[in-house]
């Protein structure tokens, strides 16, 4: 292994080079190295999950009644079909750009299951980014806080086994019990100026992978309505001294996933949600900070499980190419203006299910090594 430094724009990068002959079927250290292999989720069989307080804290308020009334039933088939068509377009684009695409298997989301004192039905296998965390050559199955997602990683087991046999490290965080003690059933939304309240407690560790953004040795994180301090502490200890997890708080009373709030696009280039990031974290000193343009998704377009800021949820194919929603002209123009090469893809019907290109994917292999992209981190 060789260690060196290079400077890109104003950012000094401490680099490591690993022997290229080492087999690395899973290898991804950040959000922007050249993407070689990716998992893209599926919407087939997506269902309204069993209702639970954990959903109330994160879903748009105008969806609560619909979710309560339809719990355990499939989403409308025409919406699934429209989202599926867009996923196929996305896969086609990725393959055309030279990326190998893998897919999970369909699960029966209507099959009831349970823990020691609860029962639930499932949701979907549309968002691999939420459930699996890739750090270097390791894939971690996350301890999700939603009961309706308890078995979601099962859709990826054939791929996990394959990657393991090919040499990857495969870990599972402690399987949570998700007993009532894990939730604050008296949860109400925090008002402006009040400390943010989250619906989960510190009873046991839970986290979603999408509450973490990887920038080499530094991992950016938020506490949320699915990720608690206990979960972050578990991950920190699991990853050890090679990584530093930085936890930030944003202006988001419904926080669930960092990837429509703070999106590192390339070394020295950060996309932020101007409503949620009121102060750019000090670690980004010297980085170009881009404010995401206001989303233009019309009010009549159904968004079951996300805010309109899902327009920020882009996927980098390398430090230049970025997949972006085709109708989002302000975002396309902004990305061009900032020096990127946008690749438009229809995805608004997929957005209805709660995510966009970053959520719908899990980068399995990006060509690159474990580097450091920030200076003086220990002094922050
Ligand atoms: N992973 C989707 C996040 C959506 C939102 O924060 O609005």
- 310 CB less than 6 Å from ligand 1? yes
Q: What is the mean pLDDT of residues 325-345?
A: 98
Å from CA of 359 to ligand 1 middle: 9
Residue in the structure block whose two tokens are 């194919």: 317
How would DSSP label each residue in 196-215?
A: PP-SB-SSS----GGGEEEE
CA angle 203, 186, 125 (to 5 degrees): 65
pLDDT score at 2: 58
- 259 CB less than 6 Å from ligand 1? yes
Burial class (CB in 10 A: 0-12, 13-18, 19+), 21: exposed
Nearest CA to ligand 1 atom 4: 306
Å from CA of 116 to ligand 1 middle: 30
Question: Rounded to an integer, what distance in angstroms lies between the CA atom of residue 196 and that of residue 253?
Answer: 6
Output DSSP code: residue 63.
G
Instruction: Tell me what the pLDDT averaged over the chain comes to.
Output: 95
CB atoms under 10 Å from CB of 265, counted, come to: 22
pLDDT per position as a tens digit, 215-231: 999 999 999 999 999 99
Tell me the pLDDT band of 379, cut-offs 50, 70 and 90.
low
Q: Is the pLDDT of residue 214 over 60?
A: yes
Q: Is the pLDDT of residue 122 over 70?
A: yes
316 neighbors 38 (Cβ within 8 angstroms): no
Question: For residue 94, what are its two tokens?
Answer: 């990725």
Query: Which ligand 1 atom is nearest residue 130's CA?
Result: 1
Tell me the pLDDT band of 14, cut-offs 50, 70 and 90.
confident
Find, among 143, 149, 139, the residue nearest to 207 by Cα: 143
Q: What is the mean pLDDT of residues 218-245?
A: 98
Output DSSP code: residue 313.
-
Å from CA of 250 to ligand 1 middle: 13
65 neighbors 71 (Cβ within 8 angstroms): no
Q: What is the mean pLDDT of residues 198-222?
A: 98
Question: For residue 346, what are its two tokens?
Answer: 């229809």
- 209 CB less than 6 Å from ligand 1? no
Q: Look at strands 321-325 and 341-345 and give their pairing.
A: parallel
Task: Kindly report the pTM of this predicted structure.
Answer: 0.95
Find, among 373, 379, 376, the residue nearest to 15 by Cα: 373
pLDDT per position as a tens digit, 67-99: 999 999 999 999 999 999 999 999 999 999 999
Query: Which ligand 1 atom is nearest residue 276's CA?
Result: 6
Output DSSP code: residue 262.
E
Nearest CA to ligand 1 atom 7: 307
Q: Is the pLDDT of residue 16 over 90?
A: no
Query: Which of 131, 226, 297, 310 most suits a substitution to test ligand 1, by most atoms within 8 Å of the C-beta?
Result: 310
- Which amino acids are annotated catalytic? 208, 257, 359
pLDDT per position as a tens digit, 254-264: 999 999 999 99
Å from CA of 262 to ligand 1 middle: 11
pLDDT score at 359: 98
pLDDT per position as a tens digit, 264-307: 999 999 999 999 999 999 999 999 999 999 999 999 999 999 99
């Amino acid at each position: 292994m060789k260690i060196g430094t290079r400077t890109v724009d104003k950012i000094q990068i401490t680099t490591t080079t690993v022997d290229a002959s080492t087999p690395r079927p899973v290898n991804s250290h950040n959000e922007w190295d050249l993407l070689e292999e990716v998992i893209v989720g599926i919407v087939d069989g997506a269902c309204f999950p069993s209702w639970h307080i954990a959903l109330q804290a994160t879903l748009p308020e105008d969806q609560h009644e619909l979710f309560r009334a339809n719990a355990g039933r499939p989403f409308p088939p025409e919406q699934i079909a429209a989202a599926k068509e867009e996923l196929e377009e996305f896969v086609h684009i990725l393959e055309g750009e030279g990326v190998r695409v893998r897919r999970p298997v369909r699960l029966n989301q209507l099959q009831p299951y349970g823990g020691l004192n609860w029962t639930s039905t499932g949701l979907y296998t549309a968002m691999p980014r939420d459930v699996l965390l890739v750090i270097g050559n390791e894939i971690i199955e996350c301890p999700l806080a939603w009961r309706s997602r308890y078995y979601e990683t099962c859709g990826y087991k054939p791929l996990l086994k394959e990657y393991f046999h090919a040499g990857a490290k495969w870990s599972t965080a402690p399987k949570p019990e998700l007993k009532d003690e894990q939730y604050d059933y008296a949860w109400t939304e925090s008002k402006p100026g009040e400390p943010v309240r989250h619906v989960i407690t510190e009873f046991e560790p839970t986290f979603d992978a999408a509450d973490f953004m990887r920038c080499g040795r530094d991992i950016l994180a938020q506490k949320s309505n699915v990720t608690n301090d206990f979960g972050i502490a578990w991950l920190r200890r699991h990853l050890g001294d090679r990584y530093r997890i930085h936890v930030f708080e944003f202006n988001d009373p419904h926080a669930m996933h960092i990837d429509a709030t703070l999106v590192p696009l390339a070394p020295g280039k950060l996309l932020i949600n101007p409503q949620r990031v009121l102060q750019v974290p000090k670690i980004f000193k010297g980085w170009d900070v881009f404010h995401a343009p206001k989303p233009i998704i019309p009010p009549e377009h159904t968004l079951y499980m996300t805010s309109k800021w899902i327009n920020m949820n882009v996927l980098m194919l390398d430090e230049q190419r970025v997949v972006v929603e085709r109708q989002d002209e302000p975002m396309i123009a902004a990305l061009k203006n900032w020096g990127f090469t946008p690749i438009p893809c229809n995805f608004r019907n997929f957005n209805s299910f709660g995510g966009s290109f970053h959520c719908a994917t899990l980068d399995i292999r990006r060509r690159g090594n474990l580097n450091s992209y920030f200076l003086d981190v220990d002094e922050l």
